[in-house]
Structure 1
Amino acid sequence: MNFLLEYLKLDFCILFLLLSVTITSNRADAPSSYWDDNYAQPYFDNTTKRDITVTIGQTAILHCRVRNLGDRAVSWIRKRDLHIMTIGILTYTNDQRYQAIHTEGSDEWSLRVTSPQPRDSGVYECQVSTEPKISQAYRLNVVVSKAKILGNQELFVKSGSDINLTCVASQISNPPSFIYWYKGERVINYSQRGGINVQTDRNTKTSKLIISRATVGDSGNYTCAPSNSDASSILVHVISGGEHQAAMKHGNNSANSLNWHIKSSDNLILYSYPIQVLLALRTSTILLCLLATSTFNIFYIR
């Protein structure tokens, strides 16, 4: 009987050892995360961009990446009013421009804002339903992009010279799809006039309009209109040689001249005198008056 009992104990030990080896082998073959998932805490992957700038109407996407999420939920909160925008893949706002984006099996939970407006600017938080909650802030900047034609708002060009205009689209994150030039309400990028050259560089967000051998007929209002910016305009005057010199002289002297208007029987004549001359005349007049007064006094005393 004792022999049989010892034999059964030996079989039991052998069976236990075999089971232990099998379990250890299976655990070694499985990835470590398989055994640690239940104990690991969620954390944010900080490689995503957290300061996003877009122009009005350009879709904005805030990317939040969470590792080891497990059975927790990811929510998007608008910071200024603590409004819950999304929970998981569900949207909790009546504003249909906001939408949760998530691909099954991925670590990324994104918030998409379609056709954003300046009022949508602000801080948004990506929250994870741990205890206590963890969150990460994202800033959305919705800006108004406005094109600018370099130089003054008016341009005087001598007839026969070239009109050269440069337009820059500032405050935009993405290059414009196109930049159109208008004269009045007519697009001139592909005008049949001839001598018109448009050079657009999408990378630098600039466009140049060159009109060769300008004539008086080229005078008018020119507008630069990028696809994703407000337009900018300039008034161009093409004038003859004599008129050009007069216009330039008038522009140079306007800061230090006084205009005297003298009415004649038929028209209004414009005289322009440098301020220095007028001041000199005024000083001379005062001296003459003083000299005359002194002479009169001397004569009267005698």
Structure 2
Amino acid sequence: MLITDIVLAPHDPTGTNFVHITAFNRTSSSSDTLSPEMQMYWENHMVQPYFDNTTKREVTAIAGQTCQLHCRVKSLGDRAVSWIRKRDLHILTVGILTYTNDQRFQSLHTDGSDEWTLRITSPQARDSGVYECQVSTEPKISQAFRVNVVVSKANILGNSELFVKSGSDINLTCEALQSPQPPSFIYWYKGGRVINYSQRGGISVLTEQQTRTSRLVISRASPSDSGNYTCAPSNSDSASVVVHVIKGEHPAAMQHGINGANVAHSSTY
């Protein structure tokens, strides 16, 4: 078997920073390999890093919920990986060190892994934009990632103030359509108390995760049912409506009762 030995000479005294390599051939068995030193040199200087393009490069995050960008670099050698915010070219991290006063940004890396992760804790709308994973080759190479931070807010259909005739049903529908993922749950509150577990009776809650909606029906409303009603999805800001249960007619925003037999309920309390 023909083996090539690589012998390193000192750097060129002219200052060009080229490395002189002398190669000669010798015959050896197939079990011969490069020395550990030569293997390290080869990996660090001769093999160029490249990105694994199978990673997800566009991420939608919910405001306040941690998001991560995963950059995979093959054949990194002794080069450094940095994360840079594109809009102001601010260096966020180099290696696993953070180079910003904003401690919400952190680089995660496990020894031996080719993955470098930028973690953004409690992202806000202003954090939306492009982030670059950059490798310190010459010239530098980089891979762009886009983050879209969604401020998800629930919405209760109708006016922010509702007048209901005494004896009618209160019928409220809440949507959480802005959230990237369906909420794990949607709670209803009256004041600071969870309505879902109210002892009043005659309360029905229908929540559908896939459509991201929840419907609250309170049958045979009385003036004591007046108050501030809040819809609170697990992954969205809450929304509220003020309900007035009155005797007699009211000229504006009057909601008349519905036939409870026509409403599909998931639970009744």
Q: So what's the TM-score if we normalise by structure 1?
A: 0.65
Aligned to 1:122: 129
How far apart in 2 are the matches of 1:108 and 1:204? 36
Aligned to 2:58: 51
Aligned to 1:247: 251
Letter aligned with residue 200 of structure 2: R
Answer with 1 or 2: which has the greater Rg: 1
- Are the counterparts in 1 of residues 164 and 254 from structure 2 also a CA contact under 8 Å? no
Moved >4 Å (runs of 4+): 36-39, 248-251
CA shift for structure 1 position 128? 0.8
How far apart in 2 are the matches of 1:174 and 1:113? 18
1:220 to 221, 224, 227: 227
More strand by share: 2
Aligned to 1:6: none
Q: Please show how residues 66-145 of structure 1 align to structure 2 within 5 Å.
A: 66-145=73-152
- Are the counterparts in 1 of residues 232 and 239 from structure 2 also a CA contact under 8 Å? yes
Aligned to 1:255: none
Aligned to 2:258: none
2:214 to 203, 207, 210: 207
CA shift for structure 1 position 99? 0.9
**1:1-46 Cα deviation digits (max 9, x unpaired):** xxxxxxxxxxxxxxxxxx94622x567xxxxx99x85644222112
Matched, 1:162 2:169: yes
RMSD value, Cα? 3.0
How far apart in 1 are the matches of 2:127 and 2:191? 34
CA shift for structure 1 position 79? 1.5
How far apart in 2 are the matches of 1:205 and 1:178? 9
Aligned to 1:272: none
Letter aligned with residue 70 of structure 1: G
Change (3 A) 1:97 1:249: closer
More helix by share: 1
How far apart in 2 are the matches of 1:92 and 1:237? 54
- Identity, % of aligned positions: 70
